[in-house]
Amino acid sequence: MSSWALFLPHGRLKVKTTAEQQAEKEKERQKKLQLFKAGTQKIFEKRKIKEYDDEGLSISGQILQANPDFYTCWNIRREILTQLKDERTEEEFQQLSQEELYLIENCLRKNPKSYGAWNQREWILMFMPTPDWERELQLCNRFLDLDERNFHCWDYRRFVCKHSNVGPDEELKFTLKKVEANFSNYSAWHYRSSLLPIVHPSCERNSVAEAILLKEYDLVQNAVFTDPSDQSAWFYHRWLLGRGNCFIFKLFDLDYFVVVCVMK
Amino acid sequence: MDDDLPSNFDVIILGTGMPESILAAAAARIGKTVLHLDRNHYYGGSWANFNFDQLTEWTEKHKVIPPHETTTSLIDERWAECLTEEETAVPLPQYPKNIQNVSCITCIRESASAKSVPEEKVFSQDDLEKTNVIPSGNENSENTEISHLAASSGDSFSPTDNEQVAEAVGETELSGITHNLQESESSRVTFLGASTSRTNDVSNQEGNGDHVTREHQEEDTISPDLGQSLEEALFGSNTSSDNTLIQNVGEREDSVNDVLEDRNHNIRSEESAEMCHDLNLEPSKPDKKEWTLEDLHTQRRKFNLDLAPKLLLSKGPLVGLLISSNIARYAEFKCATRVLTYINNHLEQVPCSRADVFATKHVSVVEKRMLMKLLTFCLQFQKHPEEYRGFEGRPFVEFLKSRKLTPSVVHYICYAIAMVDDSVPTLQGLTATQKFLESLGHYGNSPFLWPLYGCGELPQCFCRLCAVFGGIYYLKRSVEGVILDREGKCVGIFSNHKRINCSWLVMESSYAAAEFLPANVPERVSRAIFITSSSILPAEKEQLTLLKLVPDGNIPSTVTVLELGPGAMVCPDGLYVVYMNCPSVHETAKEDLLPAAELLFSPLNTDVNTGCAGSSDVMEPEVLWCVFFNELDTTTVNLNEHNPSGTIITSSPGKSLDYELTVKEARNLFQKMFPAEEFLPRAPDPEEIVMEGDTGNPGEKGNESAENLTDNEIQHPSENLQQPEELQSPNDQENKEQDQHSVTEA
C-alpha cells in the first residue's frame, strides 16, 4: 500500500465515484447512529438502577463527544462523579477530574458554544480537589483566539478570573489587546466597561477617573473614525458619554444621529 | 549510456524551477509520460532553497566565471549514429550564464577562537548525504540509476513503485541516520531551549537529509482552506458604507475634524514617546550572542535560504491553483504579519487592514477616515468611475494627491499598498490596490502568504504530484543537445550520450541554446540574501515583514525587502534572514543593493578581526553574512518566438513579488501544448482512490468527483507535510487532528 503509482496504468488513477463515496458515508453514518442509540439506552438503564461506575463515564463520554449538547448526559456524569468522589481517594478523583476536563475540552472543540459543556467545566472546577486555574486561563486565551466573540468563553473567563486572583488591570490589558485585533467585539468592549470602574475608580461611586475616560474616548474615537459603520464601537462610545447626567445623555442622543451621519 | 530510462516520452522537461514543475505536474496529471531532468543535484534551479552550507557551496560554484561553450567538440560522433539522415542536432549550453557577479561577504569571525579568516571551503556531512540520498547520474560515470522523484529525495517524497530503488536508497541512508540523530539531538539541546516536545516529529524525518530540523508549527500555520474564523478580522467586513450623505456634510466634517485634530496631536506625540521608549529597550539586551561562521555552519540545517523568494497573494492565482489542484496539502504557509515603509527617515508599519488602521499611532483619526474611505473605494473602484474620471491616464500618485489626502497617506497607499512608483497610471494603481485589498484578511492581517521552509518548497510540491502520476525524475543529469527533424521540429534530446524521443521539450531559459532565445535579454534582477542578528524593526512578537524601498538618491530602483525569522522556518532562533531584490541598474547587484543595506543595517563589518558582531550598541541589525548576485530576467521578453516547434521555453523567477506571472505563464504554455486538456484538475485524495480488492467500477469517470468537492475539504494544514506513504484510515486522521488541536498541549 505504500505506493500510488501501482495503480497508475498510464498515469490514470482509479478514483471512486461520488455515488460510491456517498454510499460509504451513509454506511458510516448508520453505524454511528446505532452506536449512539445503544449507548444512550445503556446509560439510562444504568442511571435507573443507580449503577454509577467507570463504564457509565466512558459511555456517556463517547456520547457527549458525538453530541456535546446532550444535557441529561452531562447530568448523569455529575451524578456519577459525585458518587465516585466518596468512593475514590483524593488522588484518584483528581485524576478523574482531569480526564473530565479533557473530555469537556474535546467537546468544546466540537462545539465551542455548547452551554452544557461550559457549564460542566465550571462545575468540575469547583468540585475537583485542586483546580489549575492558570491552565484554564490559557484555555480561554486559545478559545478567544479562535473566536474572539464567543460570549460563553468570555463568561467563563470572568469565572476563572474571579477564582484565580487575576487582577482586573491585567484583564483590562487583555481586552485592549482583543479590541486592537478586531474592534467589532461587543464582548470585549463590554468587559472593558465593567473593568474600568474597578481599575480606575473615581471619587463618585461606580464611576471612572476623568483622565482615563478621556483616554477611552480617544480609543473609541479611533475606532469610529476607522469604521463608522461598526456598531460595537458606537455602543461603547455611548456608554462612555452616557455615564453622567441622564438629561445630557438624552440631549446627546439627538446629536448622536447627526454625528453618525457626518462620519459617513 | 546504459541506463534504464525509456527512450520515448510525451514530454521532457529541463529544469525543476516553478513554471517547469507546474507544467510537469499538469502534463503528468492528464496522463502524459513525463521525464523531468535537472542539471543540478538539487531541485528548483534558480528557484532553489538551500541550507547554509549548500548556499555557500552554490556561491563558491557561481563565483567561478563559466568557461566559453565549446560547441564544436560537443558534436560527438555518437550523435551522428543516433540521427537519421534528415535530422539535425543543436547543442545546448553546458555552462549557463544566468547567474552573475556573485559576491559573498562574511562579517563575523570564523570561530570564537580564530583570529584570522582564511577563505576556506567547508565540506559538510550534508554534501555527503546529498550524494547518497539523491540518486544521480554523474555526468562522467556510466553508473547511473533511474528513480522516480518520490524515491529520490527522502525528505518530502514517499517511495513509488520503483521499490528497488527506494530500498537501495534506504540502505545508503541508514548510515546517515544515526549520525544525524546524534548531531541534531545535541544541537537541539544547545540551541533550542524548549524543543523537547518536537522530538517525535523529528524522529520521523530524521533520516531525511536536509530537512531534519523541520518542525511543525501548529499554532500559526495555515493552509489555504482555513481562514473562515478570521472573517471578522477582515478589512471592511462592512465596507459598503454609503456615500449618499456625503454631499452636504463636507463642511461639517471639516469642523468636526478641526476639533478632533488638536487633541489628537497631543495624544499622538505622547504615544510616540512611549513607542520610542519601548524601542530603546529592545536592542540593549544584555545576552546578545556573538555569532561566528562556525555557528552558522553548525546550525546549517536550520537555514532554508531561497534564491528567489516570493510571496503568495492570498487570493492570487497560485493559491487558487494550489487549492483547485489539491496540491496545497503538500505545503504549509504562514501569513506575512506586517508591511513596512520607509517614511520621514524611519521605518513605519503601514496600516493596511482595518485592525491596523485602528491601532496605528502614526496617523491621526482624520487621516484614518481618509485612508479607510479611499481603501473602501479602491476595493470596488470599477463601480465608481466618476471618482477617478480624468485621471485614467495620469499617474496614480496625482490622483491620490487630488483626493486631499495627507502626504503620509498618499505614501502608504502608493508605495506600500499599491506598491507602484510615481509614473504608474491611475487605473493600474487602482487595480494594484484592489488586488492587495482583495487578498487581505483571508488568512490573517496581511494579504501575503509565505511557504514555511521557503519558496523552494513550491516547485517540489508540483514535482511531487508529477511523480505521483508517474513522472520520472532525474537530477544531476544534463542534456547535450536537441534533435530536430527535417522541418526543424524538436523530436528528442541527447542526454548522457543517449537519445530520448519526445513530442514536447520544455526547457528553462538557461537550458536553451542561444539561437532559440530572443537576440538579447537586456534585463537583470539584482538579488541579495542577508543573515542578520536582529529585526529591522523589532517588535514584541516575531514578524514576517514586507518592505518596499522607493528609489531615491542612493537607491537606484524599487527594492523589495522581505524579512523572515525562525518562525518562518528559514533560520535558527536569534537570527533573521533578509532578502532584497530590485531591477538591476548598475553592473553588479552589490552596487544596486548596498545602499538599501546601509539604510537598514549597521555598516557591513568587512574587517572581521577588529569588530565583532554584537559588540556595538547601535539600533540597526548587524549583518553576519550576505551574498549578492545578478540573475538574468527572462520574464520580460517573449521566449517562445525563435525556438523550434515542439519546444517550449520557460522564464526565470524575475523581479515580481508574487507568482501571478509564473502561474499565468505555465497555464498559457500548457494550453499551447495540450489545447483540449484541463489544466491541473483536482488530484484525488488517498481515500478516494480505488485500492485493489475494493469493489466498485474502476476506471470510470476518473475526474468527476473533483467538481463536487469544495475548497473546504482540503486537509488540515498540520497534515499537509505528511506523506501518504500509508493511506490512513479516517480514524487515524481524526485522532491526529485532535492531538493537534489540543489546547492543553501548549
- Length of chain A (residues): 264
Q: Is B148 in contact with A5 (Cβ distance < 8 A)? A: yes
- Specify the pLDDT at position B609: 55
Contact B634, B651 (CB under 8 A): yes
Whether residues B479 and B582 fall in one domain: no
Q: Is A16 in contact with B688 (Cβ distance < 8 A)? A: yes
Whether residues B389 and B493 fall in one domain: no
More confident residue, B417 or A4: B417
Give contacts of B688 with chain A, Cβ < 8 Å.
15-16, 21
Across A197-206, A219-228, B600-609, least confident range: B600-609
Residue among B415, B406, B427, B447 nearest B319 (CA): B447
Cα end-to-end span (Å), chain B? 55
> ∠ at Cα B630 (B624, B632), nearest 5°?
150
* Residue B87 within any structural domain of the chain: yes
- Check pLDDT > 70 for residue B256: no
* Residue B227 within any structural domain of the chain: no
- Specify the pLDDT at position B546: 96
Give contacts of A218 with chain B, Cβ < 8 Å.
263-264, 267
Q: Is B691 in contact with A262 (Cβ distance < 8 A)? A: no
Q: Is B232 in contact with A149 (Cβ distance < 8 A)? A: yes
- Specify the pLDDT at position A241: 83
Contact A32, A26 (CB under 8 A): no
Q: Is B744 in contact with A16 (Cβ distance < 8 A)? A: no
Q: What is the DSSP letter of B282?
A: T
Q: What is the DSSP letter of B690?
A: P
- Domain CATH for B501: 3.50.50.60
- Check pLDDT > 60 for residue A178: yes
Across B212-216, B239-243, B422-426, least confident range: B239-243
* Residue B700 within any structural domain of the chain: no
Q: What is the mean pLDDT of residues B518-542?
A: 91
Interface contact B368, partner A, CB < 8 A: yes
**Distance separating alpha carbons of residues B705 and B711, to the nearest angstrom:** 13
| Minimal CA separation from B165 to chain A, in Å | 13
Q: Any idea of the CA torsion for A146, A148, A149, A155, to the nearest 10 degrees?
A: 100
| Minimal CA separation from B487 to chain A, in Å | 30
| Minimal CA separation from A229 to chain B, in Å | 7
- Domain CATH for B576: 3.30.519.10
Q: Is B249 in contact with A262 (Cβ distance < 8 A)? A: yes
* Residue B476 within any structural domain of the chain: yes
Whether residues B534 and B618 fall in one domain: yes
Whether residues B643 and B501 fall in one domain: yes
The confidence band for B687, taking pLDDT boundaries of 50, 70 and 90, is: confident
Across B507-521, B646-660, B701-715, least confident range: B701-715
Give contacts of B267 with chain A, Cβ < 8 Å.
218
Choosing from B448, B483, B510, the residue where a domain stops is B448
Half-sphere CA count of B319, side-chain side, radius 13 A: 26
B259-289 pLDDT, tens digit each:
333 334 433 333 443 443 444 434 444 456 7
Task: Supply the ipTM of this predicted assembly.
Answer: 0.75
Q: What is the mean pLDDT of residues B6-14?
A: 95
The amino acid sitting at A78 is R
Mutate to test the interface with A, among B220, B256, B743 (most CBs of A within 10 A): B743
Select from A13, A105, A228 the Cβ nearest to the Cβ of B744: A105
Between the alpha carbon of residue B385 and those of residues B378, B392, B427, B434, the distances in Å are 11, 9, 10, 14
**Distance separating alpha carbons of residues B653 and B670, to the nearest angstrom:** 18
Interface contact B6, partner A, CB < 8 A: no
**Distance separating alpha carbons of residues B131 and B619, to the nearest angstrom:** 43
The number of domains in chain B is 3
| Minimal CA separation from A227 to chain B, in Å | 7
Q: What is the DSSP letter of B46?
A: G
Whether residues B515 and B527 fall in one domain: no
* Residue B119 within any structural domain of the chain: no
Q: Is B354 in contact with A226 (Cβ distance < 8 A)? A: yes
Walk me through the domains of chain A, giving residue ranges and CATH numbers: 32-166 (1.25.40.120), 172-264 (no CATH)
Q: Is B238 in contact with A227 (Cβ distance < 8 A)? A: yes
Interface contact B345, partner A, CB < 8 A: no
B324-370 pLDDT, tens digit each:
999 999 999 999 999 999 998 899 999 988 888 998 888 898 889 98
pTM of this prediction exceeds 0.90 = no
Q: Is B31 in contact with A10 (Cβ distance < 8 A)? A: yes
Choosing from B448, B470, B495, the residue where a domain stops is B448
Across the A:B interface, residue pairs with CB atoms under 8 Å apart total 163
* Residue B386 within any structural domain of the chain: yes
**Distance separating alpha carbons of residues B468 and B162, to the nearest angstrom:** 12
Whether residues B358 and B421 fall in one domain: yes
- Which domain does B466 fall in, by range? 2-101+457-520+637-673
| Minimal CA separation from B475 to chain A, in Å | 20
- And the C-alpha cell for B652? 526565470
Query: How big is chain A by its Cα radius of gyration, in Å?
Result: 26
* Residue B406 within any structural domain of the chain: yes
Interface contact B227, partner A, CB < 8 A: no
Whether residues B628 and B537 fall in one domain: yes
Whether residues B414 and B513 fall in one domain: no
- Domain CATH for B416: 1.10.405.10
* Residue B225 within any structural domain of the chain: no
User: Average pLDDT, whole number, for chain B?
Assistant: 74
Whether residues B529 and B614 fall in one domain: yes
Choosing from B448, B476, B509, the residue where a domain stops is B448
String of b and e for B470-486 (b: at least 16 CB within 10 Å)? bbbbbbbbbbbbbbbbe
Whether residues B440 and B543 fall in one domain: no
Mutate to test the interface with B, among A1, A2, A231 (most CBs of B within 10 A): A2
**Distance separating alpha carbons of residues B210 and B577, to the nearest angstrom:** 18
Q: Which residue of B has its CA nearest to A221?
A: B365
Between the alpha carbon of residue A257 and those of residues A216, A224, A246, B246, the distances in Å are 21, 13, 17, 15
What proportion of chain A, given as a percentage, has pLDDT over 70?
Answer: 85
Select from A105, A182, A229 the Cβ nearest to the Cβ of B743: A105
Restricting to B residues 462-481, those with a Cβ less than 8 Å away from any Cβ of A are 467-470
Whether residues B510 and B641 fall in one domain: yes
Beta bridge partners of B342: B347
User: Residue B542 burial (CB < 10 Å; 0-12/13-18/19+)?
Assistant: middle
Q: Which residue of B has its CA nearest to A139?
A: B743
Give contacts of B372 with chain A, Cβ < 8 Å.
225-227
Whether residues B625 and B642 fall in one domain: no
DSSP string, B344-365: TTEEEE---SHHHHHH-SSS-H
Restricting to B residues 234-253, those with a Cβ less than 8 Å away from any Cβ of A are 236-238, 240-242, 245-246, 249, 252-253
